């Protein structure tokens, strides 16, 4: 993932992790394992994963790296985080027990506790003692699932016999839940699988796709508004979606497996029932409308990818963003302003807010030749208005990347 469409060397996360580990643990720290997990972009399917729906997502060429050795105090897992304050965090797995954070995650140490507690609860033995050093090139608060990459990489590094596939996804997802972020499984699934995937929120299954982008690229466009899943409207939307599903089951008299299995006729029946049943508040109907229409957009999007119809896919992206902003109400005014300005640039096929909401980035699908034009337009407009025009890497072109991996360094 690079600025302005041309390759530039990304900071070496592995080297930063090694330097931080040596500084924290001393010269006897000799990492024996290297775990890495990529971030992701969500192409279509916003907020569908925890609603049991399909999501089109892709792992990208930014990752979190964890280096680990087998030293330290018996029974303890120690960690240092190169990209924060480099302070050492020590966790005794036996004393941690069934730990859960009762607020939003305060940093990577909460995800470490979540990984250890969730792995233990699922019967996975830890590498203990172990000393971990973590660094990453997945920007925090950017909507690229840095937290999922952190958790996947830490599971691979910290668990004695690391799981793969859906088991790895479940532990990483459970770790985020324990840390205070009630996320679905799409972020972790994309990070584990790599490439472009169609994710099934009900089964956690993934189907790999092999799209040919041709002259087009996906670019992540920074809004300057930092976000955090645990502190955003995300937990509220999770609760609302569950409440809406419970009411839909009761009113329809059907055993609906999940909200994403509802179809247009169900939505129309519920809208009619809302005239008589005050429990189906306007905002709950709007949440269901987004889920129903977004599910249909993903289904159309799969067809567009397979046909190589990127113009159609761009239209679906833009519609997804509008639904996310208007019906699911998870966007931010500045992000929508950025999306509008992006869509006005010649060569842009589609743009939408991305991720949990409340800030972060917009995702754009555009001609490769239009990247510099978009950069110039935004620096003369949105970025100038918000005093961001002097910042580098505001537009980052994404390349699809392989999934998470654990390597032996011994």
Bridge partners of residue 348, in order along the sequence: 366
Cβ count near 344 (within 10 Å): 12
Crossing angle for the helix pair 310-326 and 282-307, nearest 10 degrees?
170
200 belongs to the catalytic site? no
- Out of 49, 187, 222, 375, the active site residue is 187
Whose CA is closest to 213, among 60, 400, 62?
Answer: 400
Residues known to be catalytic: 187
């Amino acid at each position: 993932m690079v600025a302005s469409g041309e390759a530039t060397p990304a900071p070496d996360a592995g080297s930063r992790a090694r330097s931080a580990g040596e500084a924290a643990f001393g010269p006897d720290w000799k990492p024996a394992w290297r775990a890495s997990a990529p971030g992701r972009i969500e192409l279509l399917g916003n907020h569908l994963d925890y609603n049991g729906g399909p999501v089109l997502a892709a792992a990208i060429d930014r990752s979190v790296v964890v280096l680990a050795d087998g030293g330290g105090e018996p029974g303890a897992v120690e960690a240092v985080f190169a990209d924060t304050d480099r302070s050492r965090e020590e966790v005794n797995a036996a004393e941690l027990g069934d730990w859960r954070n009762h607020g939003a995650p305060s940093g990577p140490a909460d995800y470490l506790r979540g990984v250890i507690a969730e792995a233990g609860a699922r019967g996975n033995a830890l590498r203990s003692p172990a000393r971990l050093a973590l660094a990453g090139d997945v920007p925090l608060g950017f909507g690229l699932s840095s937290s999922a990459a952190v958790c996947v990489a830490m599971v691979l590094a910290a668990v004695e016999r690391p799981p793969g596939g859906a088991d790895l996804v479940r532990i990483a997802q459970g770790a985020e839940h324990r840390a205070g972020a009630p996320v679905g499984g799409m972020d972790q699934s994309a990070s584990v699988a790599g490439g472009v995937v169609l994710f099934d929120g009900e089964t956690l299954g993934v189907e790999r796709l092999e799209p040919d982008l041709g002259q087009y690229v996906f670019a992540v466009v920074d809004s300057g508004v930092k976000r955090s899943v645990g502190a955003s409207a995300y937990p509220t939307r999770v609760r609302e979606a569950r409440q809406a599903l419970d009411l839909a089951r009761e009113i329809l008299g059907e055993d609906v497996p999940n909200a994403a299995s509802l179809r247009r006729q169900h939505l129309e029946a519920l809208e009619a029932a809302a005239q008589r049943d005050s429990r189906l508040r306007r905002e709950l109907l709007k949440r269901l409308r987004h889920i129903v229409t977004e599910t249909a957009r993903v289904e159309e999007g799969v067809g567009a990818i397979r046909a190589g119809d990127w113009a159609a896919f761009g239209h679906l992206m833009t519609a997804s963003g509008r639904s996310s902003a208007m019906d699911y109400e998870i966007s931010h005014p500045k992000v929508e302003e950025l999306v509008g300005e992006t869509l006005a640039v010649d060569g842009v096929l589609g743009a939408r807010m991305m991720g949990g909401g409340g800030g972060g980035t917009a995702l754009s699908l555009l001609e490769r030749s239009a990247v510099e034009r978009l950069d110039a337009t935004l620096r003369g407009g949105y970025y100038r208005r918000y005093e961001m025009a002097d910042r580098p890497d505001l537009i980052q072109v994404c390349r699809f990347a392989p999934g998470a991996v654990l390597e032996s360094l011994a």
